[in-house]
Amino acid sequence: TYDGAANVDASGDPLGNTIVEGYFRYNLFDTESTKLPYQVGTYFGKKKVLGIGLGFFSHANGAYNNATDEHEGVFHIAGDVFYDAPIGENGNAINVYASFINFNYGDNYVSRWAGTGTNLYAQLGYYVSTLKIMPYIAYNSGSYEALEDNITALDIGVNYHVNFHHAKITLEYHTIRNDY
């Protein structure tokens, strides 16, 4: 279980209280805004951005193996790429995002969209400025050692940007396969 901090060691001392994490991003062309704690998503054809990132998360003794009564370290490493650029002269834009994450929670750990193994996520969108819509497709695949088959998800949708990012309406079809 991912509750190592809630389980003391054999001497009664707490463990699993330290987390170290980091994320490094290099922007080519223009830079992404950092005003918000998440990425904007699209710049509506107003600038060209290519960001490449690498991150890690380390939680010593963060997991607890109930079968062996031992703590296990949790460690993840991930990379992602974000590209948003104008297409043509009319304000349309293409938007692409992809990430790869290697999770390690300890032997055979699994929960929905996280477990010891890998996760791949990709999305593609196209902003049509005259209609203020952005149709998109996204795919997610998790391959975890505790499961025989990958958990996959497919999203197909459209965003209607009423007032850019200040107001938008989203219609989406979402499906998950092999959800244990």
Q: Per-residue pLDDT tens for 50-107?
A: 999 999 999 998 888 888 888 889 999 999 999 999 998 889 999 999 999 999 998 8
d(CA 40, CA 22): 20
- pLDDT (0 to 100) of residue 113: 66
Burial of 59 per CB tally in 10 Å (0-12, 13-18, 19+): buried
Token pair for residue 145?
Answer: 């050692």
| Residue 154 or 10, more confident | 154
pTM, rounded to two decimals: 0.87
